[in-house]
Amino acid sequence: MVTRAVVIALAALALAHPLAAQRPAAHAPRTRRAPVPRCPSPAVWAAVGDSAWPLLAHADGDSAWAHLEPDSLPRSSAAWCNPLDARKSAAEAGRSIYAQHCTTCHGAAGKGDGPGAGAMLPAPFDFTAPLFAGMREPPGPAVLYAIVTRGIGGTAMRAFGELGPWERLAVLAYVTRFPGDSALAAQRAWADTLEARRPH
């Protein structure tokens, strides 16, 4: 039978072992990085430098920008949604930004038929296409943010670095409403369609 003295002696030897010092104390606090919210604030988007966003390139008129591999996006932005999508005031602000910067190419109704569109090849994108509703789901918001930030190579779509992050997100909250209520109600299904078309 193991006596109490033997138990105490064994415990003392275990504590004296060199590996014992490497074991974390049972009460030691664990540091854990807080996860970024799925819809992070504009300040989080702003923390990503403009040069970190990828410059997309036009490819064969197939809206290739919508098929961007999420791995090309910075940080965990491929999982982010637009924090301003549900804010009516942001969409209204986005309408004003759109009128000032986007109608010449994309047209007042977002059909890609603005007064300057005729001379452009490829033509400006038609935001009213039902498929575009899928861009409200990740990675769509980050892809669109990259486009507004860097432009699209090989097209007339330029970078809008003069717009702040909040303004970029506001105009995206506005233009992604162009497909209409029925398409927006099925935006997850349209996002799945885009995912199926994305190269794997």
Q: What is the mean pLDDT of residues 27-48?
A: 71
Q: Quote the pLDDT of residue 10.
A: 40
Domain count, the chain: 1
The answer to whether position 12 is within a domain reads: no
CATH number at residue 167: 1.10.760.10
Q: In the structure encoding, which two tokens stand for residue 120, read together?
A: 């452009």
pLDDT digits (tens, 9 = 90+) for 72-124: 899 789 999 999 999 999 999 999 999 999 999 999 999 999 999 988 888 89
Cα–Cα dist 102/108, whole Å: 8
The answer to whether position 101 is within a domain reads: yes
The answer to whether position 32 is within a domain reads: no
The answer to whether position 17 is within a domain reads: no
Q: Which range marks the domain in which residue 66 is found?
A: 42-197
Per residue, the 3-state secondary structure of the chain, as one string, reads CCCHHHHHHHHHHHHHCHHHHHCCCCCCCCCCCCCCCCCCCHHHHHCCCHHHCCCEECCCCCCHHHHCCHHHCCCCHHHCCCCCCCCHHHHHHHHHHHHHHCHHHHCCCCCCCCCCHHHCCCCCCCCCCHHHHHHHCCCHHHHHHHHHHHCEECCCCCCCCCCCHHHHHHHHHHHCCCCCHHHHHCHHHHHHHHHHHCCC
Q: Quote the pLDDT of residue 198.
A: 73
Q: Quote the pLDDT of residue 161.
A: 95
pLDDT digits (tens, 9 = 90+) for 126-155: 999 999 999 999 999 999 999 999 998 888
The answer to whether position 21 is within a domain reads: no
**What's the mean pLDDT when you consider all of the chain?**
82
Q: Quote the pLDDT of residue 64.
A: 54
Q: Which of the two residues, 62 and 126, has the higher pLDDT score?
A: 126
Q: Quote the pLDDT of residue 13.
A: 39
Q: Quote the pLDDT of residue 195.
A: 83
